[in-house]
Amino acid sequence: MSNKPYPTPHINAKPEDFAKTVLMPGDPKRSEFIAKTFLEDARLVNDVRGVHGYTGTYKGTQVSVMASGMGMPSIGIYSYELFNFFDVDNIIRVGSAGSLQPHIHIRDVVFGQGACLNGNFADQYHLPGQMTPIADYTLLKTAIEQAEKLGVRYHVGNLLSSDIFYNDDPADGLKWAKMGVMAVEMEAAALYLNAARAGKRGLALCTISDSLVTHELTTAEERQNSFTQMMEIALDTAVEMAKK
């Protein structure tokens, strides 16, 4: 058996197949959409379990995009392998989230400065207290700068990374709202914890797809194809990070 850590059970590629920055949507179809819409000379570098990964160039900079699947266990696997086995330095989650605040509306972009969680992902580190998963400051600052250049309506603060989509207590999410948590999604905290452990950089930016407060919502097709401003922010961030 080879002593190389790749290919892994989840990524059939080599380190040179990936750029230093990987955009990571949850949905494989969104990964394909980003690659075909924005990247030049995009090539498929992974399709294990239907989780498509592509590498191409954007504004002359090599960028990769690969789906994470849904939930912290799934992004926990893919981000861990990319950080630790494939020499990736930066992972930017580009996903959807549900607003918990009345002033945050559908299609607004939220930057996860921090990510609360209601699961046990951090227990594996056996820390003598509670760790706060946070974004990398350089990635966060760079992405906000790109959002401002594009004139995008955005918010910065805490996300909730939830293990539960169909909650037995529908009001659970709103309990986080009283602490100022902006929106709920399902992956950011695991990404931030893996990045911290590997000494790498992680950032989650999400487009609001629905509101738990106003009950506004978008369709699945809109989530796949229309959240282009968020994608452009992440891609421009990848270009700027390559200069640092």
Quick one: residue 220, left, alpha or beta (phi over 0 = left, psi -120 to 50 = alpha)? alpha
CB atoms within 10 A of CB 28: 18
Residue 89 annotated among the catalytic residues of the structure: no
Residue 173: which H helix or E strand, with range? Answer: helix 172-177
CB atoms within 10 A of CB 148: 11
Question: DSSP secondary-structure letter at 124?
Answer: G
* Interior/surface letters 221-237, b for 16+ CB within 10 angstroms, e for the rest: eebbeebebbbbbbbbb
Q: Considering only CA atoms, which of 33, 73, 70 is closest in space to residue 52?
A: 33
Phi, psi (degrees; rounded to nearest 5) at 85? -115, -20
Q: Which of 89, 136, 210, 236 is catalytic?
A: 210
Residues 147, 236: contact at Cβ < 8 Å?
A: no
Question: DSSP secondary-structure letter at 207?
Answer: E
Active site residues: 210
